[in-house]
Amino acid sequence: EIVLTQSPGTLSLSPGERATLSCRASQSVSSNYLAWYQQKPGQAPRLLISGASSRATGIPDRFSGSVSGTDFTLTISRLEPEDFAVYYCKQYGSSPYTFGQGTKVEIK
Amino acid sequence: QVQLVQSGAEVKQPGASVKVSCKASGYTFTDSYMHWVRQAPGQGLKWMGWINPSSGDTNYAQEFQGRVTMTRDMSITTFYMELSSLRSDDTAVYYCARAKQSDFWGRGTLLTVSS
């Protein structure tokens, strides 16, 4: 089973700042099948990025994903008020699919 | 537009079973596997498994093997997830999510297991 470790656990930033979220896999993720989701309280997760770097339909271009080996990064270039939420990564390259534990982006 | 409409909240006693439904619309039913994910209160997301809507084949996470059954009814484009031998730690919101990248999600079904 691939273990995904997200860091930091909490990120305290101000609107307009840049957010960098990390997701490290315990082993190689097949075909870089790594997705990022945003979840707000009381809502279902929303797909932001799939395939490590492809933005989902309707996702603003301030969200971007990248990969280097087994290290995956989600970058939010300039935080908007609606971006404060919890973010999860998930690998879907091999079964069982696994999620990271989440990073909370909170208003500083 | 793609929609996944889940059944309503459930309260069950320990040892009972629950069957959650997820009605799919807005796309070709057989084009995408359906996945189920759960989230305990205040916790993260856990993948439970998938079902192939064409063949009915399933793949379950080992943690749920023997207790979970995923099925579908093609005639009404609806997926089901049944969980048996319920315990208090099965209390969670259960989501259906389309395809391996989970591009669309249902709103979730809250299951409370309590005596």
CA distance B56 to chain A (A): 18
Interface contact B101-A88, CB threshold 8 A: no
Interface contact B106-A44, CB threshold 8 A: yes
Interface contact B101-A50, CB threshold 8 A: yes
Specify the pLDDT at position B49: 98
Specify the pLDDT at position B21: 98
Query: Which chain A residues have a beta carbon less than 8 Å from that of B45?
Result: 37, 39, 45, 88, 90, 99, 102
CA B86 to CA A17: how far, in whole Å?
45
Mean pLDDT of B2-7: 98
CA A47 to CA A38: how far, in whole Å?
7
Beta-carbon-side half-sphere exposure of residue B41 (alpha carbons within 13 Å): 8
Mean pLDDT of B75-100: 97
Specify the pLDDT at position B107: 98
Mean pLDDT of B82-98: 98
In total, the C-beta contacts within 8 angstroms joining chain A to chain B are: 52
- The count of residues in chain B is 115
